Amino acid sequence: MHMKPYLKLKRVWALLICIAIYCGLASCSTTRIILQTAPSTPKGAAAIPVISPVNQEIWERQTIDEIKNKFATQIYGQFPKTLTLREIKDYPVAGLFFNDKAKINITALRLKNEANQQEADFDLLLMSPKQTGPTKAVIVMQSFCPIENIVDDLTFPITRERDFNCKTKGAITTLFKFVFGRYIIRPPIEMIVEKGYALAILYPSDFIPDAPEKGVETINSFFSDQEPTTRTRTLMAWAKQLALVADYLETERGFEKSITYGHSRYGKTALIAAAFDSEIDAVVGHQSGTGGASLNRDKEGESVDDIKASYPHWFLEQYTDSPKGIDQHHLLALLAPRPVLLSNAKRDVWSDPEGAFRAAQGANPVYELYGTPGLTANKLTQFIPADSISYWIRPGTHGIVKEDWPAFLEFIDAHFLQSDG
């Protein structure tokens, strides 16, 4: 029996839409790159320049600030010290959710640049285990979708006008999940709270829109007090927002530990936030790629020029594949001695899994300075959750699939259950 022509056309259009969405969010490359597979053992050169810390005192007193300044002036723009956060209104939600396992709070928050009085409001969705005792930690993440799309049976108390929305039912959601996995719109909240962790979610485009023209316009207005050549760019602004929220959750909400988590662009911001804010306790950077954990030099997949062309609002204009005196292993070194998980996929060569592994190796000397070996694996396929720099890779492509969160939680448990005896 032959397929009817209109059915064939319908399937072709569905496939084209899927490919278009994949290319847009994952910074699509040529078919040759997409079909490559990451090696099991690193093939590229060791990360340069080599990090050779003299001692812990010099590293903390001098070298950390020097490295941060290089990232701020060559790649991300300034980490805005004049940005503050305060609570506008809290909306506790009655009842329990996710099979009666989680409590929900929604909070309206306000960012303010004290240097020029610019303000931006956004909302925070907080889901906590139902028990009354302290949670192990709060996982803080930025979402691709507005947070009112996260909980199906919740009447959201705040209304904001947005250009983008992830409907809980419909074509966009179906395609989103098909291309990027079941957890792209929301993580497995029930699984997370059952483990004893809270989860806080925000939508960063409420602060800086994730669009080239509008993003640049907002950055230039919000940080008009800064020197244009090193002005805070979008990834750094989102990272600061994430760091402020993590601090708010610890100081105002009583969580003892915070973990920044993110996928793809938000994997970058999760790493940047913790690198520039030492109060964040751990990081899970999933498929963070170029401008995240993967090296700029000697890389596979997405180049610096590629990512700047697609996302000019994310980085400084002077960002190149050979920044002076640094590479992304220095970003990981700024996390020492805190735990960091770098997770990847074998067929996501566009995000350069091997480059992330070599960056982790390059950060090892600073972890060793603190008495921890950092990454002990010598293959990309060795997952050692208890390592201070842990690396995990699975089959498949760019996205958040069913295998991912169990691995993330295994890593988090390895570092946050130790005090439980």
Give residue-wise pLDDT tens across range 297-321. Answer: 999 999 999 999 999 999 999 999 9
| Domain, as residue range, for 342 | 5-420
Strand order in the sheet with 258-263: 83-97, 102-113, 118-129, 197-202, 137-142, 258-263, 282-286, 340-345, 389-394
**Tokens matching residue 31:** 């078919």
Q: Which segment of 57-66, 161-170, 400-409 scores lowest on mean pLDDT? A: 161-170
State residue 33's pLDDT score.
57
pLDDT at 30 over 50: no
pLDDT at 7 over 80: no
d(CA 63, CA 363): 14
Q: What is the mean pLDDT of residues 56-78?
A: 98
State residue 19's pLDDT score.
53
Residue 49: is the preceding peptide bond cis (ω within 30°)?
yes
DSSP state of 181: -
Q: What is the mean pLDDT of residues 278-306?
A: 97
Amino acid at 158: I
Count of domains forming the chain? 1
State residue 168's pLDDT score.
58
What percentage of the chain exceeds 70 in pLDDT? 89
pLDDT at 283 over 90: yes
Q: For the domain that residue 257 is a member of, what is the CATH number?
A: 3.40.50.1820
CB 79 within 8 A of CB 240: yes
pLDDT at 277 over 60: yes
pLDDT at 28 over 70: no
Give residue-wise pLDDT tens across range 341-385. Answer: 999 999 999 999 999 999 999 999 999 999 999 999 999 999 999
pLDDT at 1 over 80: no
Amino acid at 249: L
The residue ranking higher by pLDDT, 421 or 36, is 36
- Mean pLDDT over the full length of the chain: 91
What percentage of the chain exceeds 90 in pLDDT? 80
State residue 136's pLDDT score.
87
pLDDT at 89 over 60: yes
**Backbone phi, then psi, for 97, in 5-degree steps?**
-130, 170
Who contacts 13 (Cβ-Cβ below 8 Å, separation ≥6)?
none
pLDDT at 286 over 90: yes
State residue 189's pLDDT score.
96
d(CA 403, CA 217): 39
Residue 403: count other Cβ atoms within 10 Å of its Cβ: 15
State residue 29's pLDDT score.
46
CB 264 within 8 A of CB 313: no
- Residue 152 confidence class, pLDDT cut points 50, 70, 90: confident
Q: What is the mean pLDDT of residues 337-344?
A: 98
Q: What is the mean pLDDT of residues 175-192?
A: 86
* Beta strand pairing call for 282-286 and 137-142: unpaired
Q: What is the mean pLDDT of residues 258-278?
A: 98
State residue 131's pLDDT score.
78
Write down the residue that tokens 């480059």 correspond to.
355
Q: CA distances (Å), 262 to each of 108, 288, 341, 345, 361, in order?
A: 21, 8, 11, 15, 21
State residue 323's pLDDT score.
98
DSSP state of 314: T
